[in-house]
Structure 1
Amino acid sequence: MFTSAEIIAIKDLLVPQNKIVIITHYNPDGDAIGSSLGLKHFLQQKGLQPEVIVPNDFPKFLKWMPDARKITIADYKRKQAGEAIYNADVIFILDFNASHRSGNLVGPWIEKARATKILIDHHQQPDAFDYVYSDVRIPATSQMVYHFIQALGEESLVNKNIAECLYTGIMTDTGGFRFRSTSATTHRIVADLIEKGADPAMITSNTWDTNTVSRLHLLALILGRIEVVKDGKVAILWLKRDELKELGFQKGDTEGFVNYGLSIMGTQVSAFFMEDLYEDFIKISFRSKDEVDVNQFSRKYFNGGGHINAAGGKYFKSIEETIEDFKEKMEAEEF
């Protein structure tokens, strides 16, 4: 958490006359959107008028959240986003650890901005900003936003809108409270959010019971050809660009696919490989159990990183070559 002196300094910045911008990473997920909107609603409770900016669009299943459709998407509103960042007095950087994680458009704007920059994030090796709250032990940035509100001594301002957004972020980034980083503290916070108005049944239904036909077709395809290697310890799933197009892929359709590999008895690592729709690279998602560190594995071999049990990467070969390289490198890993 921020030090007591930092909290006092940040409090002094959170005044109505200051322009506040909240930014999250490229390809925003549930925790990115939930933490950003949760913080936005909290700052509004304090009389501020913050603006949430995301580099590119996010899945439809997250757009039910309060004010989600008021988020400024930089890809669509470049001038508005750029001016807001340029004129900001304070920029909150949520759920990413370095400016370049917000993409080639927004990243340079953050670096050039004159604003005071406040990072709240749970990924490893954060860059230096004016104020940094980084803790890799916490399963979701949305939980960290709640801790931040607690540190300010303003839990009484948490209303239904804040509770719904933060609950969604915690729920999605813990895989429905399944991942090992989910702690007793996480559950206590979730209980408090429920008491403040978050409805678990509604949130779960709005977020996860929203399958499109294209998503189910894609899921059926990859599950029908899932491959298990390394004596049953590693599962591999993959999709090609032409398959995505043929089956009507929509943004967010492959969310969570990588987790199916870990549901196989005996697996400790799941890897999902997908050709990018527009650019010539392979997008990779890694998940693992126990002490198997896919963060370091991805950093070392696949231009990525993340958490010990959840990481992503990019590779610039064909999907067939990428999978073969992965198999070779994974075979050399000891676990």
Structure 2
Amino acid sequence: MFTPAELLEINTLLVPENKIVILTHYNPDGDAIGSSLGLKHYLKAKGIHAEVIVPNDFPKFLKWMPEAKKIFIAEYKRKMASDLIHEADVIFCLDFNSPSRIGLLGDWLTHARGKKILIDHHQQPEAFDFVYSDTVIPATCQMIYHFIEAMGDEKLVDKDVAECLYTGIMTDTGGFRFRSTSATTHRIVANLIEKGADPAVITSNTWDTNTVSRLHLLALILGRIQVARDGKVAILYLTREELKEYGFQKGDTEGFVNYGLSIIGVKMAAFFMEDLYDDFIKISFRSKDDMDVNQFSRKYFSGGGHINAAGGKSNESLPETIETFKSRIEGEENL
């Protein structure tokens, strides 16, 4: 958490006359959108206006959250987003550890004059004016709750704040299944429910939103899933042609990698997908126990994330990328 002195200084910055923006990472997920909107609604309850800016569009299954449709998507409103960032007095940086993780917003952030406040749970954060980094906490949304508590404002957590923070915690813990989910996490979730978050409604709005294209793609990859390293590694993949054939929409492949990790005996799952427009491969890694996919992805696939959940990319073809992956996992002692 921020030090008491830092909290006092941040409190002096959070005044109605200051221009405040909230930024999060490229390809925003539930934790990114939930923490950004949760913080926005908290500031609103304090009488402070803030704008949320994301680098690119986010999945439809997250757009039910209060004021999600008011988020500025920089790829569609580039000049407006740039002006907001450069004119801001305070810039909250949520759920990313480096300007390189926020796409076209990164350069604008680096050159912005406003005070930069980082709240993030990824490893190896870069320098910001204020840094609250904790890699043990499973979701940035939980960190936003701790921040609100530290500011002495828990009473300002209303239904809008609660719904957004609950959504981010739920999605980033895999429905409270991941090892990083703590007793503290559950206590916070209980508080959010008391503040108005309805688990049944949130779960339905977020996860009961399958499209026909998503189910076709899921059936396709499950029908040809591969295992390697004596059944300890699962491999899933999709080609660009398959995405086009089944009418892929943003968010359709969310959570696919977890199906690989659900196989008995599997300690690591990797999902490879050709980008729809550019010649590179997007990679999602998940793992169990002490298999560190964050370090694995950083070392071999220009990525990173958490010990048990990370992303990466490859400029090789899809078959070459999968073969490279298979060769790399042969040297992993924790599998």
Q: Secondary structure at the match of 2:218?
A: helix
Q: Amino acid of the residue matched to residue 56 of structure 1?
A: N
Aligned match of 1:55: 55
SS of corresponding position for 2:69: helix
Identity %: 77
CA-CA distance at 1:331 after TM superposition: 1.2
The runs of 5 or more residues in structure 1 that have no matched partner are none
> 3-state DSSP class of the match of 2:312?
strand
The aligned residue for residue 114 of structure 1 is 113
Structure 2 counterparts to residues 281-320 of structure 1, below 5 A: 281-320=280-319
Cα deviation, 1:293-333, whole Å, max 9, x if unaligned, reads: 00000000000000000000011100000000000110111
TM-score, length of structure 2 as denominator length: 0.99
Question: 1:139-190 deviations in whole A, cap 9, x for unaligned?
Answer: 0000000000000010000000000000000000000000000000000000
Give the superposition deviation at 1:17.
0.4
Summarize deviations over 1:61-95 as a string: whole Å, max 9, x none.
00000000000000011111111001000000000
d(CA) in 1 for partners of 2:76, 2:328: 39
Output the CA distance in 2 between the equivalents of 1:301 and 1:86: 35
SS at match of 1:264: coil
CA RMSD, 1 decimal? 0.4
Matches within 5 A, 1:218-257: 218-257=217-256
Secondary structure of 1:133's partner? strand
Q: Does 1:96 align with 2:115?
A: no
Give the CA deviation at 1:254. Answer: 0.2
**Alpha-carbon distance, 1:215 to partner:** 0.1
Whichever residue aligns with residue 87 of structure 2, its letter is: N
Summarize the alignment of residues 91-240 of structure 1 with structure 2, pairs less than 5 Å apart. Answer: 91-103=91-103, 105-240=104-239
Deviation at 1:117, TM superposition (A): 0.1
Question: Would you say 1:81 and 2:98 are equivalent positions?
Answer: no
Deviates more, 1:78-87 or 1:26-35: 78-87
Distance in structure 1 (CA, Å) of the matches to 2:190 and 2:205: 19
Give the superposition deviation at 1:119. 0.1
Structure 2 residue matching 1:205: 3-state secondary structure: helix
Q: Match for 1:75: what amino acid?
A: E
| Distance in structure 2 (CA, Å) of the matches to 1:296 and 1:111 | 26
Q: For residue 123 of structure 2, what is the amino acid of its counterpart?
A: Q
What is the CA-CA distance between 1:100 and the residue it aligns to?
1.1
C-alpha distance in 2 between matches for 1:131 and 1:277: 37
Length-normalised TM-score, structure 1: 0.99
Match of 1:3 in 2: 3
Give unmatched runs, 5+ long, in structure 2: none
Q: How many angstroms apart in 2 are the aligned matches of 1:73 and 1:107?
A: 14
User: In structure 2, what is the equivalent of residue 13 of structure 1?
Assistant: 13
